A and B are shown apart, each in its own frame.
Chain A
């Protein structure tokens, strides 16, 4: 930490550190200095000169945001000279900004009831501006007390407002060229999808040639909107609505678990999502899903009443009727013919209750959290080696990595904020290795991009392990402690000769070796993995191999190292922690283990079934075969089951009895006998556990007024159980449920809802009476959450698994650079984590090649933000802009020759029931048998923005590898 210094601001003594700028020191001390271009979290920029101060003994009025503190410095923030400069600056800003309302002498009279008729032209009024009443420019102009007079004229830029891009509008007539958006997109996101244009008098912000965001590389994360001080950048949905309050909760779209402040308007609608600036998970960032995907909570089609099936039709019913019917229907089928499925959006409390219900009331271990990723194999594989079925490190540790290996995942689209520190790290020199046949966003940043035959990850990772051990690049300390396991592993790696690996994966041996060397020598090295496209039987071994790669190179238990299992559902981790798994009781206690069962039976007061339940695919098959007769679904399970509805719906059709709890009448709910209307994430209290093992509280944002009868899933579950006469379901809040769960689940023993909420640390910032950026205003406290294992109430949680001392415990959290509202309290170091890594030998397995003569090739569909090397046309018509371009089909030259296709030839690609036109491009870097096509994310953004679905972000199309056929489009040119 930088040395402490003392400065005096307006006579007040302020203690700070020498790395701060005067503005930051003042903010931290609660002293307000107006600013427009500075924003916490970004480097000071010094563009607006609003933050000027005077320094004793120094000439002029320097900008305080770029003025480093010096010990003993005396600063005055409000002298006459300073105020004069600020007014001049404001005057200049307003010379190009509609400003009638900012300096109008009637402003005190002005209001919704008394809109003036003559003072300001209608179009120029702030009231016509979407940012009215939440505008920093307006507040700041008032703050510096500009002279009020009848409105002046100003230079209107007369620019076309950009309303044709997905999700948000850009009106550069209102821009004050503070550069916050440009810096956010560059510094915070690493995207540079917008930049300054032109110079001097015409300087503005925009995209290349002023075209659409669709081809400029925008990921629609909204970071630029969140920092814009004026109405230039605004979300399109609820554009003109004003918030009456805001509440922080957790985004339900992915396991990052971003903390987001949701604004609510006076009609009780959630209108805007503003990621929290100081949340340790997302540090002010979000993504297209979190930022623009919350509107389903307000949706008209939400279920309002319980439904029961009468005469073959779902009809409205009272809660009591529905509960009685559900209880009766379920009571007849206790035992393994019952199964329960949970949506990964359900809370930990709901997950806990569902498995308790399944096990104690229904006497069945058939309980699952639905997942569209191979998450159980992935997490179990990690558990086999590392002892915990979870990720090892906090997300922002990635900024400190020396090397990141990103393998078979689509992190920028699926767990977006995890990619942010990776991109930032790469800029600072971190080596990135991407392993994927598909071209995904991170490949653009990769130092090394390996394109193996899809699904051959096991061979590739085994090859890397082998190279590392052969070349003596393993971690000495680790080798010493694990001599035994290591021998067995080494023996098993005899199968993984690099030539064989190269033949299997299609990646040349020297590239495998190079990847291994970079990974092993650039420590700390971290791994991002999702096992996309890995065949089912290889998933668990592959996860083990990845964990071993981390372990053998000494990359566990350190900042910047570790392994990040990228599951897809928001609370898949938590649901599994809570025992929504056919094999495990809460806390990964095996159901087959008698002592573990005893423990749970002691709390639950019921004997537990010993036979583990069926894996999900077998379970659905059993339902189709009629062995499973009754099901309970909590949440929109179908949306999170493998993206494909058919197997699930087929399983549901033949059931004797189906109960569904959901916010919408989903396709699955249409087969139900009883449907209970459920609250959404925004209405619930409870907890989610994210990809870092961080347990975070959900707070109730609002209560949707149009569906007053809906209830949270935990409540409904309790009611069903009570209607069945079952004891142990008398909970009056989610917090109470977590209280019981913590008694059964040793990983959560020290966690309580109260602790999560009450341990929030208030941030230091000037009074909210002064103009503040919205993100600063909303970040009034920092919720750190608690990372399991947290064995007791005095334990601070475990930031890093397998670490000792400070690295394990809640040491200093990663904080924003130049965090204005710093001084986040830091906890003491945590206890040492038990559990030693244990090496498991690997078995060679070949990935089956496509043998379908009709579709002999595999199509690896990729998606990226930008491809400057390709012709792209943005079509501007009615509605949204659209991308039009010729797609290229990358093909190995030998595959092309075999099919008599040539470079540049027009072809038809037939895959998953679609036919797509494309042009052949020979790509020797691809493995044989694989063709690849890469589309622009902009196309997907348009599709999502235009979607009619209630919750389009729950069904974002994924990048699956599918069998394909390629044929010439016509006679060769």
Chain B
């Protein structure tokens, strides 16, 4: 079986396993991204087949939302909030230092693809500003030193696994 076929099998399984009562193009894309971390070309095609539409319509939905990604994410996700509260409490400096440490100039993956950096307009913990999150774990009242340490702690490679459980919580 080609790797493409194996991938398609996995995508099809994910699509079938959606637990929600209403299955749409959007829910299907989310399910696949939850499982694999990003959307491959095969995923677009399989979602089209699964939902009975064309790849173009699926792409139309997928490309609309910033949350979908089409390249593999890093092993860990670091989000830095640059919302208003965090901005006032020094998010700029924090961001500058984190970018420097990771060798990035903006959102994206590090060269070794261990870390995906994302900017967030509010992580919802403004009282703790400035806030970052590492692999979806929030960390508040950050300063550069603690932030870099937290990121370093996460930056050893690990096997990619399911990011969210498929159970509805």
Contact = CB atoms under 8 A, between A and B. Distances in A.
B41 to A, nearest CB: 7
A869 B8 contact: yes
Nearest to B61: A195
B54 A217 contact: yes
Contact of B44 (A194, A206, A208): A208
Nearest to A199: B64
Nearest to A210: B59
A193 B46 contact: no
A206 B63 CA distance: 11
A191 B48 CA distance: 13
Contacts of A206: 56
Contacts of A196: 60, 64
Contact of B48 (A194, A197, A868, A904): A868
B151 to A, nearest CB: 30
B41 A209 contact: yes
A869 B45 contact: yes
Nearest to B2: A871
Interface in B15-62: 41-42, 44-46, 48-49, 53-60
B64 A192 contact: no
Contact of A216 (B2, B55, B64, B70): B55
A197 B45 contact: no
B63 A197 contact: yes
Contacts of A208: 44, 54-56, 58-59
Contacts of A198: 63-64
Contacts of A217: 54-56
A209 B58 CA distance: 10
B137 interface: no
* Among A193, A194, A198, A904, residue most surrounded by chain B Cβ atoms (within 10 Å): A198
Interface string A330-357: 0000000000000000000000000000
Given A198-B63, A198-B64, A869 B46 contact: yes
B153 interface: no
Contact of B59 (A199, A207, A866, A871): A207
B49 A193 contact: no
Most buried by B among A194, A206, A869: A869
A209 B60 CA distance: 9
B6 interface: no
B168 interface: no
What is the size category of the interface that chain A forms with chain B? Answer: 20 to 34
B55 A868 contact: yes
A197 B54 contact: no
A96 to B, nearest CB: 18
B contacts with A: majority SS = helix
B46 A194 contact: no
Interface in A185-222: 191-199, 206-209, 215-217
B97 to A, nearest CB: 30
A195 B56 contact: yes
B56 A868 contact: no
A209 B1 CA distance: 25
Interface in A892-927: 904
Contacts of B46: 868-869
Contact of B54 (A192, A209, A869, A871): A192
A199 B48 CA distance: 20
B45 A195 contact: no
A871 B59 CA distance: 17
Nearest to A868: B45
A192 B44 contact: no
Contacts of A904: 1
A868 B59 contact: no
Nearest to A870: B45
Contacts of A207: 55-56, 59
A216 B4 CA distance: 19
A196 B60 CA distance: 5
Given A197-B63, A198-B64, A208-B44, A192 B1 contact: no
Contacts of B64: 196-199
Contacts of B59: 195, 197, 207-209
A192 B53 contact: yes
Given A209-B41, A904-B1, A868 B63 contact: no
Max count, chain B CB within 10 A of own CB: residue among A193, A195, A196, A199: A195
Nearest to B56: A195
A871 B65 CA distance: 25
A679 to B, nearest CB: 42
A572 B31 CA distance: 54
Q: Which of A217, A866, A868 has the most CB of B within 10 A?
A: A868
A866 B55 contact: yes
A164 to B, nearest CB: 18
B91 to A, nearest CB: 24
A938 to B, nearest CB: 13
A209 B44 CA distance: 9
A208 B54 CA distance: 9
A586 to B, nearest CB: 48
Given A869-B8, A904-B1, A193 B56 contact: yes
Interface in B69-127: 70
Nearest to B1: A904
Interface hub of B1, B4, B56 (most chain A Cβ within 10 A): B56
A192 B45 contact: no
Interface string A712-723: 000000000000
Contact of A192 (B8, B41, B56, B63): B56
Contacts of B44: 208-209, 868
A195 B58 CA distance: 9
A196 B59 CA distance: 8
Interface in B121-163: none
A904 B6 CA distance: 13
Contacts of B45: 868-869
A215 B53 CA distance: 14
Contacts of B1: 904
Contacts of A194: 56
A866 B59 CA distance: 15
Contacts of B63: 197-199
A191 B2 CA distance: 30
B67 to A, nearest CB: 12
Contacts of B54: 191-193, 195, 208, 216-217, 866, 868
Contacts of A193: 54, 56
Given A209-B41, A209-B44, A871-B4, A216 B56 contact: yes
A56 to B, nearest CB: 38
Contacts of B58: 208
Nearest to B39: A209
Interface in A816-875: 866, 868-869, 871
A207 B44 CA distance: 12
A869 B45 CA distance: 6
A216 B59 CA distance: 11
A550 B15 CA distance: 41
Contacts of B41: 209
A904 B5 CA distance: 11
Contacts of A209: 41, 44, 59, 70
The 10 closest A-B pairs by CB, nearest first: A195-B60, A208-B59, A208-B55, A868-B45, A195-B56, A192-B54, A868-B48, A197-B63, A199-B64, A198-B63
Given A195-B59, A869-B8, A869-B49, 14 more contacts: A193-B56, A195-B56, A195-B60, A197-B59, A199-B63, A208-B59, A209-B44, A215-B55, A216-B55, A866-B54, A868-B46, A868-B48, A871-B42, A904-B1
23 contacts: A192-B53, A192-B56, A193-B54, A194-B56, A195-B56, A195-B57, A197-B60, A197-B63, A197-B64, A198-B63, A198-B64, A207-B55, A208-B54, A209-B59, A215-B55, A216-B54, A216-B56, A217-B54, A868-B45, A868-B48, A868-B49, A868-B55, A869-B45
Interface of B: 1-2, 4, 8, 41-42, 44-46, 48-49, 53-60, 63-65, 70
Interface of A: 191-199, 206-209, 215-217, 866, 868-869, 871, 904
